[in-house]
A and B are shown apart, each in its own frame.
Chain A
Amino acid sequence: MKPTDRPLILTAETEHLPIWVRVRDLILTVLLWLSCGKMWLELFPEIRSWNAAKASEELTYELPTILVLLKHGVLLIGGLLVTYFFWGLYTFRSVNRDLDLPVPPHLPPEEEARAYGIKPEEIPALRELASVTVLAGKDGQIVSWQPGFAPKQKE
């Protein structure tokens, strides 16, 4: 059984993870940041060339691929964000209106008993028990119950 006094946050130190695993993770992550950084830098020459072409009125120069894609997306994203923003304001208002709603009544035991296929008087008896063994059907209906723990026989 696991000790119950483990710290809440389980770190590499508390879990005694080998040092080489920690170093490997760190190196791979640094490499990934560096390679992403290198590829991001590739964006700039493309945009620079496009700007230069535009400045010299070389109109045949094609837009950078990323700008072509964004050209189609900007309207869609802008429209989506504006719609979402106003819908969000409407939701905040309706949620504030919900503050005035009355608290619904508790579930009556008779209705609960019906849902589980047992008699209403069985419910208080079952709820008095500190330990109970229940045989439930696959549909959730209670077939039988008995006080205490009845361990399953090993097959």
Chain B
Amino acid sequence: MMSLLESVQNFTFLYPLAMAFVWILGGILYYRRREHILAGPHTDPQLSSTPSVSVLVPCYNEEALVAETINELMKLQYPNLEIIAINDGSRDRTGERLEALRVEHPSLRVVHLAENRGKALALRTGALAARSEFLVCMDGDAILDPHSIHWLMREFLLRGNVGAVTGNPRIRNRATLLGRLQVGEFSSIVGLIKRAQMVYGRVFTVSGVICAFRKRALADIGYWDPVQQTEDIDVTWALQTNGWRIRYAPNALCWILMPETLGGLWKQRLRWAVGGAQVFYKYAPRMLRPAALPMWGILADYILSVIWALSFGLLVSLWTLQICTGPEIDFGLPGPLPTLAGLLLTVVFLLQSVVSLTIDRRIERSIMQHYVWLIWYPLAYWMLNAATSCVGFVKVTFGAKRRSGTWISPDRGVGS
């Protein structure tokens, strides 16, 4: 029993340590081989042609923020562009607001869904209305950088087997500690992992808030699956297991609003965890197909991350039990306060953050100032992510493997 617990303890220490070094190496390799040769994100790359692009903006109860999103879209510099807002049966005045915006901007097209069907079906219907072969999908409360479409299209035009391109989400709301912490997180975790996964050759997920698709590829996989909580993770796995490639465009920036309360953050991360677990159960049986073999690395990383979350949860429970029961029952585990192993992990995480923020300075010169807040990450976020992973995985394992993706009105920061 003790040796088993010792193994669990060693695993909870070694897994994040090993992966941190993989992400650091991957981030550096990607930067050296692919990223540092790119011009800055606020310039347009040279494109061999500018094929027509449709931007799809699914909205549900977005009357407060949709005008900001659409007005900013009208400033996009891509020459051959169509903008389609999809009102997914909103219960507020989003429909009326979009109609008013259509009068203001005659190039805007609006698709109203008579019934609320969730983001996946809103995107699917938008794809039908779109005249272009290339679709850029974003959220109704996000802002696209004026040059982002150029950078997304660059990846499609370079390689014929690219089915999707994921952009680089950047946090707008930096008022509170949670907001500023997420600025660092999106750079030092999300951005670095994406770069490292590109070096591996497959990604776990595109960013649903900014990604572009080739319609041909979407048709091959039957478009977005409406019974997945996170349509972006599902479509990523569907494309890659059907022979399509996904590319990352770090210069395709999209400015997003993130939760700035613990409750909002919990709901968001739990939805991501549930989505990840649903995708695992859907795709695990298909992993023996030849086209799916390269996904094994991503699958193994996901499985290990879930085992890590469960192990971490077990250890925390035992520590709590030990404290409650007193010295009569001894599990032989160290106390709940950070041990030397925990401190070493923190040091490695801070090293990882230095690497990722240094890479990210190409995008945002002042990003280093967020380093100071990242000290919270190992303490607060690892626990939050471990908890949501455990709850999400258990929920899907013992609940519905397929459940319709529904819109949840998110917390969008203190000012929203």
Query: In whole angstroms, how far apart are the Cα atoms of A65 and B334 in the complex?
Result: 11
Residues of A within 8 Å of B162, CB to CB, are 98
Q: Measured between alpha carbons, how far is A123 from B129 in the docked complex, in Å?
A: 8
- Inter-subunit contact B173/A21 (CB<8 Å): no
A138 CB → nearest B CB, Å:
7
Choose one: A9, A85, A123, A139; the contact of B25 (CB below 8 Å). A85
Residue pair A73, B109 in contact (C-beta under 8 Å): no
What chain B residues lie within 8 Å of A87 (beta carbons)? Answer: 200-201, 297
Task: Tell me whether B4 is interfacial, beta carbon within 8 Å.
Answer: no
Tell me which of A2, A28, A123 has the highest count of chain B C-beta atoms within 10 A of its own C-beta. Answer: A2
| 16 further A-B pairs in the complex, CB-CB below 8 A; given A65-B341, A81-B22, A107-B219 | A1-B67, A2-B67, A10-B173, A10-B175, A85-B29, A92-B199, A107-B133, A130-B109, A131-B110, A132-B112, A136-B117, A136-B121, A136-B124, A140-B121, A140-B226, A142-B125
A29 with B177: CB separation less than 8 A: yes
- Complexed CA–CA distance, A45 and B45 (Å): 55
Nearest-CB distance from A135 to chain B (Å)? Answer: 4
Using Cβ atoms and an 8 Å threshold, which residues of chain A touch B413? 10, 15
Q: Scan B125-149; emit 1 where CB is below 8 A from any A CB, else 0.
A: 1001111010000000001000000
A85-99 residues at the B interface, CB under 8 angstroms: 85, 87-88, 91-92, 94-95, 98-99
Instruction: List 11 A–B pairs whose Cβ atoms lie within 8 Å, in order of A's numbering.
Output: A1-B63, A2-B64, A12-B175, A14-B415, A39-B338, A73-B17, A81-B22, A101-B159, A104-B160, A107-B215, A134-B113
Complex-state Cα separation, A64 to B344, whole angstroms? 13
Rounded to whole angstroms, the CA-CA distance of A138 and B162 in the bound complex is 29
- Residues 138-155 of A, flagged 1 when their CB comes within 8 A of B and 0 if not, give 111010000001111000
For residue A76, CB closer than 8 A to chain B, the reply is yes
B133, B172, B199: the one within 8 Å of A88 (CB): B199
On whether the beta carbons of A123 and B174 are closer than 8 Å, the reply is no
Q: In residues 1-46 of chain A, which contact B (Cβ within 8 Å)? A: 1-2, 4, 6, 8-12, 14-15, 17, 21, 25, 28-29, 32-33, 36, 39-40, 42-43, 46
Map CB proximity to B onto A114-134 as digits: 1 under 8 Å, 0 otherwise.
011000000100110111111
Contacts of A132 in B (CB 8 A): 110-112, 129
A4-B67, A133-B114 given; A101·B26 CB < 8 A: no
Let me know if B317 is at the binding interface, CB within 8 A.
Answer: no
Contact with A along B263-306 (1 / 0, CB 8 A): 00000000000000000000000000000000001000000000
The answer to whether B174 and A11 have CB atoms under 8 Å apart is yes
Q: Are A115 and B160 in contact (CB under 8 A)?
A: no
Q: How many residues of B contact A (CB 8 A)?
A: 86
Q: Do residues B341 and A129 form an inter-chain contact, with CB atoms below 8 A?
A: no
Among all A-B residue pairs, the 9 with the closest Cβ atoms: A101-B160, A91-B201, A15-B415, A88-B199, A15-B175, A135-B114, A25-B177, A98-B159, A133-B112
Does A84 lie at the interface of the complex (its beta carbon under 8 Å from any beta carbon of B)?
yes
CA A133 to CA B129, docked complex, whole Å: 11
Work out how many contacts link A and B, with CB atoms closer than 8 A. 220
Shortest distance between the CB of A69 and any CB in chain B (Å): 6
Bound complex: CA of A131 vs CA of B97, how far in Å?
13
CA distance A122 to B325 in the complex (A): 71
Q: How far is the CB of B127 from chain A (nearest CB, A)?
A: 8
What is the CA–CA distance of A127 and B179 in the complex, to the nearest angstrom?
Answer: 40
- Chain B residues closer than 8 Å to A69, beta-carbon distance: 10, 13-14, 341
Say yes or no for B394: interface residue by CB 8 A criterion: no
Inter-subunit contact B110/A130 (CB<8 Å): yes
Q: A62 within 8 Å of B by Cβ?
A: no
**Interface code A53-73, partner B: CB below 8 Å = 1, 0 otherwise?**
000000000001110011011
B222-A106 in contact (CB<8A): no
Is B382 in contact with chain A by the CB < 8 A criterion? no
In the complex, A81→B179 CA distance in Å? 33
- Contact, CB under 8 Å: B63 / A136: no
Would you call A32 and B17 a contact (CB within 8 A)? no
Q: Does B322 contact A (CB under 8 A)?
A: no
CA distance A39 to B117 in the complex (A): 52
| CB-based contact B160/A66 at 8 Å | no
State A136–B112 Cα separation when bound (angstroms): 10
- A127 near B200 (CB under 8 angstroms)? no
B167 to chain A, nearest CB (A): 16
Given A36-B343, A76-B18, A85-B25: A123 and B216 interface contact (C-beta under 8 Å): no
Tell me if A131 and B109 are in contact (CB < 8 A): yes
- Which of A21, A42, A130: most chain B Cβ within 10 A? A130
**B71 in the interface, Cβ–Cβ < 8 Å?**
yes
Q: A57 vs B223: C-alpha distance in the bound complex, in angstroms?
A: 68
CB closest residue in chain B, given A146: B114
